[in-house]
């Protein structure tokens, strides 16, 4: 089976976020594999181990994404592709990313493509379905279970807490929801092996794409931090008196009751 | 400049979701006096047309077909593409619900258009429609515009005011027949989780429990408080993973994103993935026995204490209020 994983290098949102020159300050920040893409990598490895085949992890980004791709290789993926757009594109959006990935995948005969359901930084959840649409294949989002037998696929999809059992056939794109699996940690031998696994680096030129072909369909005009919340009031005194005070505050100060 | 907008009316459990009315409110802001056309998709949905009109749609188009009984991205996309083809709108808005999140990127992809996801406010600035949305798990916001194609947006529930319902409004509800074919995903089974009472994503008051609730029974005092306040019960991942409650109650990045007027977090530590789903709430109350818990950093009011002592006292206090009112 020919399996592809879409992997985004993201800012670790556990970190403090600051702005410099109207942009999110990335200096010294921690970058990670988008957590939902870790589920995607794990699932791809499990499917390969059960069915045979090969797992290729793709990321669109800058040279720095090599680190996250190596981690995926250390987990057990076979190959990685970094589509480096650093020199070509200044402002991209979900259309841009999906178009580039779609162009790369169009002649690869992918059987299964696994993406994350959402990136924790950009947070749109668009790239998976957009890629499927470009490739003309069906997709199922936010899955928590994947079974494949003789090319027939059965998945469980999380729909706001309800579970749908959905059947489809390959080729298919799915997006991973938390609960799909427990991603493994790279082992030491895995990390050693990963250094020798193939990591191909491409640019727009290699995909026969011009900047105009991938021009964003949206534009960010401002990024800002929410107004700093006044420190909350932590009450004190007897618990029963605190409760009485809280109810009064909710009524007269916050006016929500 | 008057612009025509479409709004998908999403029907769930036999009624229109509130977020669809909010999406009409959003479209009104964007349309600048232009026409708002409600769209309904399903096997039998025409009868919801009047309600969309009462909430501000000028007219409604219903696509009805037996194959549309359940949501599939293929069936709904074929329906909406036919409506878009007929109406040639400037833009189309959805709720940022499981359905909207799944469907909108496919349509925007097909039409090579921009889509702004998870919108919390809209304004008009110098002829542009400017959308605001949270990024970085809610730690920052961005303002965006669509620069090409049809203007697509999904609207986060409970953030944009719907128009007041006006029962005197009337308008045309027509049907469009669409040939629905080649559905490539087939829904075999749906397990509905007991979502008694108020829909979490639309609730005005939420009482949420975390691992600190300690057991399934531990949710009882929270349910009583929710009942007195006419609210809904929610949970952290910690409580769901420990099997104290069903995953359908989960709030956060993986679960539901909520924006109630009042959010009371009981025994929840305040992990970023949880905050991503509730930090936009208008007023946040934290009850936690650990004064260092991160939840106090986002709370407007906090009580450091044992939730099993505090929550029943709160319920009593609110009951007293009700009696006096
Ligand atoms: C050159 C360039 C310039 C950019 N400039 C801006 C800018 O000016 N303003 C701005 O707001 N954003 C900018 N971005 C970021 C971009 O808009 C989004 O971050 C990105 O396209 C994905 O959108 P998202 O974060 O909403 O991911 P989602 O759609 O939420 O991601 C869902 C899933 O899609 C897959 N995926 C997403 N992104 C990638 C990727 N890059 N590679 C592989 N798989 C992926 C992953 O599986 C992920 O889990 C830029 C991106 C690029 C490439
Ligand atoms: C990819 C990913 C996605 C995730 N998505 C989500 C999500 O959508 N939603 C979510 O919630 N989490 C999510 N998480 C998990 C998140 O990181 C935390 O693990 C989780 O939120 C912790 O739940 P908790 O606060 O209930 O438990 P804990 O962190 O264990 O906190 C329990 C709290 O209860 C307090 N407490 C204990 N006893 C009492 C008492 N008697 N009275 C008062 N207080 C008491 C303790 O002081 C403590 O602060 C996600 C994680 C990952 C990696």
Query: Residue B262 is nearest to which of A95, A233, A256, comparing CB atoms?
Result: A256
Residue B198 has pLDDT above 80, yes or no: no
Q: What is the DSSP letter of B206?
A: E
Cβ contact B148–A158 (<8 Å): no
Average pLDDT over residues B62-66: 98
pLDDT at B196: 62
Instruction: Catalogue the E-assigned strands of chain A.
Output: 2-6, 9-11, 19-20, 23-24, 31-33, 54-61, 79-84, 112-116, 139-149, 152-159, 162-169, 172-176, 199-202, 218-224, 233-234
CA atoms within 13 A on the CB side of B261: 12
Helix (H, G, I), strand (E, B) or coil at A119: coil
Query: How far A196 CA sits from the closest chain B CA (Å)?
Result: 34
Rounded Cα–Cα distance for residues B163 and A154 (Å): 42
Report CA torsion sign: A51, A54, A56, A57.
positive
Neighbour tally for A196: CB within 10 Å: 8
Query: How far A192 CA sits from the closest chain B CA (Å)?
Result: 32
Residue B195 has pLDDT above 70, yes or no: no
pLDDT at A229: 77
The two structure tokens encoding residue A139: 């997709």
Integer-rounded Cα Rg, in Å, for chain A is 22
pLDDT at B14: 92
Query: Residue A221 is nearest to which of B74, B145, B321, comparing CB atoms?
Result: B145
B256 lines ligand 2 (CB under 6 A): no
Helix, strand, coil percentages in chain B from 3-state DSSP, rounded to 5: 35, 30, 40
Closest-CA residue of A relative to B281 is A256
Rounded Cα–Cα distance for residues B63 and B152 (Å): 20
Quote the distance between the C-alpha of residue B110 and its chain's center: 25
Place of tokens 């934290």: B286
Is B47 exposed, middle or buried, given 0-12, 13-18 or 19+ CB atoms closer than 10 A?
Answer: exposed
CA angle B296, B300, B303 (to 5 degrees): 55
The average confidence (pLDDT) of chain B is 96
Cβ contact B140–A24 (<8 Å): yes
- In this structure, chain B runs to a length of 325
Query: How far B193 CA sits from the closest chain A CA (Å)?
Result: 5
pLDDT by position in tens, chain A (length 257): 999 999 999 999 898 999 999 999 999 899 999 999 999 999 999 999 999 999 999 999 999 999 999 999 999 999 999 999 998 888 999 999 999 999 999 999 999 999 999 999 999 999 999 999 999 999 999 999 999 999 899 999 999 989 999 999 999 999 999 999 999 999 999 999 999 999 999 999 999 999 999 999 999 999 999 988 788 999 999 999 999 999 999 999 999 98
Q: Which of A37, A77, A93 to mutate to test the pocket of ligand 1 (most atoms within 8 A of CB)?
A: A93
Place of tokens 């609110």: B318
Quote the distance between the C-alpha of residue A240 and its chain's center: 46
Measured in Å, residue A210 CA sits from the centre of ligand 1 at: 19
The two structure tokens encoding residue B74: 């293929």
**Which residues have CB under 8 Å from B322's CB, separation 6+?**
B228
Rounded Cα–Cα distance for residues A40 and A183 (Å): 9
Cβ contact B303–A240 (<8 Å): no
- What does the pLDDT look like over B120-147, one tens digit per residue? 999 998 889 999 999 999 999 999 999 9
Confidence category of residue B192, pLDDT binned at 50, 70, 90: confident
Q: Which residues on B lie below 8 Å from A251 (Cβ)?
A: 321
Q: Which residues on B lie below 8 Å from A240 (Cβ)?
A: 313
Neighbour tally for B198: CB within 10 Å: 17
Average pLDDT over residues B311-319: 97
Helix (H, G, I), strand (E, B) or coil at B291: coil
Place of tokens 């993926």: A77
Cis omega (within 30 of 0) for bond into A211: no
Among B104, B122, B101, B116, CA closest to B148: B116
Residue B255 has pLDDT above 90, yes or no: yes
Helix (H, G, I), strand (E, B) or coil at A120: coil
> Is residue B181 within 8 Å of B237, Cβ to Cβ?
no
Place of tokens 């459990």: B13
Residue B197 has pLDDT above 70, yes or no: no
Quote the distance between the C-alpha of residue B228 and its chain's center: 23
- Strands of the sheet with A152-159, listed across from one edge: A199-202, A79-84, A54-61, A2-6, A112-116, A172-176, A139-149, A152-159, A162-169, B186-191
Average pLDDT over residues B75-79: 98
Quote the distance between the C-alpha of residue A59 and its chain's center: 10
Nearest CA to ligand 1 atom 25: A122
Integer-rounded Cα Rg, in Å, for chain B is 21
Higher pLDDT, B185 or B125: B185
Q: Where are the alpha helices (DSSP H) in chain B?
A: 18-31, 49-54, 73-87, 98-110, 220-229, 237-241, 272-275, 307-324
């Amino acid at each position: 089976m020919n399996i592809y994983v879409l992997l985004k290098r993201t800012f670790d949102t556990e970190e403090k976020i600051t702005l410099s020159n109207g942009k999110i300050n990335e200096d010294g920040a921690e970058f990670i594999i988008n957590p939902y893409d870790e589920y995607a990598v794990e699932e791809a490895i499990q499917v390969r181990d059960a069915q045979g085949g090969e797992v290729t992890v793709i990321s669109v980004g800058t040279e720095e994404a090599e680190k996250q791709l190596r981690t995926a290789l250390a987990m057990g993926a076979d190959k990685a592709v970094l589509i480096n757009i650093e020199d070509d594109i200044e402002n991209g959006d979900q259309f841009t990313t999906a178009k580039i990935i779609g162009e790369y995948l169009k002649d690869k005969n992918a059987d299964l493509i696994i993406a994350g359901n959402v990136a924790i930084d950009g947070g749109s959840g668009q790239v998976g379905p957009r890629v499927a649409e470009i490739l003309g294949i069906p997709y199922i989002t936010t899955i928590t279970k994947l079974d494949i037998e003789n090319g027939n696929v059965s998945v469980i999809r999380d729909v706001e807490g309800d579970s749908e059992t959905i059947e489809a056939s390959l080729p298919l794109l799915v997006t991973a929801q938390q609960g799909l699996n427990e991603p493994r940690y790279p082992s030491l031998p895995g990390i050693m092996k990963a250094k020798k696994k193939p990591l191909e680096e491409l640019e727009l030129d290699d995909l026969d794409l011009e900047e105009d072909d991938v021009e964003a369909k949206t534009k960010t005009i401002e990024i800002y931090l929410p107004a700093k919340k006044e420190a909350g009031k932590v009450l004190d005194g007897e618990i029963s008196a605190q409760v009485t005070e809280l109810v009064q505050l909710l009524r007269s100060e916050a006016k929500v009751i | 400049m008057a612009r025509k907008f479409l709004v998908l009316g999403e029907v769930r459990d036999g009624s229109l979701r509130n977020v669809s009315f909010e999406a009409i409110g959003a479209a009104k802001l964007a349309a600048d006096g232009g026409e708002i056309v409600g769209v309904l998709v399903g096997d039998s949905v025409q009868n919801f047309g009047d309600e969309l009109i009462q909430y501000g749609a000028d007219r409604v188009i219903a696509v009805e077909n037996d194959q549309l009984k359940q949501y599939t991205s293929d069936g709904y996309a074929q329906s909406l593409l036919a409506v878009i083809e007929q109406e040639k709108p400037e833009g189309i808005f959805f709720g940022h619900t499981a359905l909207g999140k799944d469907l909108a990127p496919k349509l925007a992809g097909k039409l090579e258009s921009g889509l702004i996801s998870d919108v919390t406010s809209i304004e008009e600035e110098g002829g542009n429609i400017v959308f605001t949305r949270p990024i970085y798990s809610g730690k920052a916001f961005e303002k965006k515009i669509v620069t090409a194609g049809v203007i697509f947006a999904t609207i986060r529930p409970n953030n944009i005011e719907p128009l007041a319902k006006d029962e005197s409004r009337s308008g045309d509800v027509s049907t469009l027949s669409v040939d629905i074919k080649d559905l490539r995903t087939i829904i075999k089974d749906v397990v509905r989780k007991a979502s008694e009472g108020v829909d979490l994503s639309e609730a005005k008051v939420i009482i949420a429990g975390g691992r600190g609730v300690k057991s399934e029974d531990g949710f009882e005092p929270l349910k009583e408080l929710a009942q007195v306040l006419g609210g809904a019960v929610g949970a952290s991942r910690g409580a769901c993973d420990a099997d104290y409650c069903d995953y359908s109650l989960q709030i956060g990045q993986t679960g539901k994103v909520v924006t109630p007027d009042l959010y009371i977090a009981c025994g929840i530590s305040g992990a970023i993935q949880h905050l991503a789903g509730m930090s936009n709430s208008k007023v946040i109350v934290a009850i936690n026995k650990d004064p260092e818990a991160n939840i106090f950093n986002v709370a407007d009011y906090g009580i450091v204490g044992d939730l099993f002592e505090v929550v029943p006292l709160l319920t009593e206090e609110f009951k007293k209020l009700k009696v006096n009112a």
